[in-house]
Amino acid sequence: MDKFIKLSAIAAPLPMANIDTDMIIPQQHLKTITRTGLGKYAFSHIRYHDDGSERDDFVLNKPAYRTAEILVTGENFGCGSSREHAPWALKDFGIKCVIAPSFADIFYGNCFKNGLLPITLPQETIDLLLDDAGRGANAIITVDLETQTISGPDGGTVSFEVDPYRRHCLLNGLDDIGLTLEKKKIIENFEAKKRLTQPWMFQDE
């Protein structure tokens, strides 16, 4: 997994609440067997006209935001389907950090598995960041996961909270399957005990 340590980038404002994963990546683009190449379909319903041409009114199509790597958005971002294609599409497009007042649980967890940092902040702080983001390339925002701070273009800094385990994995680009497999013995002991007390739960009993 890609590490996430520190990022200084253009932030795109997308102040809509309840952006669902169907909107982030519509169902017709889920027929893939790889994790890559979905960036061109990210937000396709609101990003393109029916003929495939770009919509001028969509923020990531505007010249100032085509290279944005941070998205500042509304509450309950990523609600709906569990499709990990949503963070895959964002990441493939170039988005490495999403900042919102709240996230849907499954999407939030999926981000961390893909080197994408979701940050939850109070609406007042989001409003300030949206103002900064509105200034495009004139307002580079710096997200530092080590110090858990966001610095705006005018010197202001805000702190954010993140689960320590997820932070550790992101900072080091760790594959958590590998980490869990180091606990194989503990898992096997748990299973052995469970087989004694709840044998019916095991299909091979």
CB of 67 to other proteins, least distance (A): 27
**Which lies closer to other proteins via its Cβ, residue 9 or residue 86?**
86
Residue 152 main-chain phi, psi, to 5 deg: -85, 175
Other CB atoms within 10 A of residue 151 CB: 16
* CA dihedral angle for residue 128, residue 167, residue 143, residue 10, rounded to 10 degrees: -90
Tokens of 158: 């805000």
CB of 205 to other proteins, least distance (A): 8
**Which lies closer to other proteins via its Cβ, residue 31 or residue 63?**
31
**Which lies closer to other proteins via its Cβ, residue 53 or residue 203?**
203
Looking up tokens 């889920």 gives 30
CB of 21 to other proteins, least distance (A): 9
Return the H-helix or E-strand segment holding 201.
none
Tokens of 46: 């609101």
**Which lies closer to other proteins via its Cβ, residue 45 or residue 55?**
45
The residues that touch other proteins, with contacts defined as CB under 8 A, are 15-18, 20, 22-23, 26-28, 30-35, 45, 74-76, 79-84, 87, 102-106, 109-110, 113-114, 163-165, 168, 175-177, 180-181, 183-184, 186-187, 190-191, 194, 198-204
DSSP 20: B
